[in-house]
Amino acid sequence: MISKFNADVCFFSALAVDENGDIYDCFEEENFIRQAMIEHSSKRVFLCDHTKFGKKAAYKLCSLNNVDLIISDQMPNFNLLGATAVVIE
């Protein structure tokens, strides 16, 4: 059902992003919804504070390759894989 939606912008968060740029969360069923919205959005914005950097969780959601913009409280210290980061203190 959600695959029938299209969005201009998808704002999402998750529990972790590792040093390879993979984004993870611990809720598999929520990841299906997030993945569908990420795939059907023109722009994808990942909301993440610095405590999520360098970590992993149970289920991979996507990669920073799938993200246009990262909004965080600190600049990540790993390759953003083409995403742009905005720091808001």
Residue-wise pLDDT tens digits, 24-70: 999 988 899 999 999 999 999 999 999 999 999 999 999 999 999 99
**Higher-pLDDT residue of 79, 12:** 12
Contacts of 64 (CB under 8 A, 6+ apart): 17, 21, 22, 23, 46, 70, 79, 80, 81, 82, 83
Query: Which CA distances in Å does 80 have to 6, 7, 33?
Result: 25, 23, 23
Question: In total, how many domains does the chain have?
Answer: 1
**Higher-pLDDT residue of 31, 1:** 31
Nearest to 67 by CA among 4, 13, 2: 13
Q: Give the range of the structural domain holding residue 32, as residue numbers without chain letter.
A: 2-87
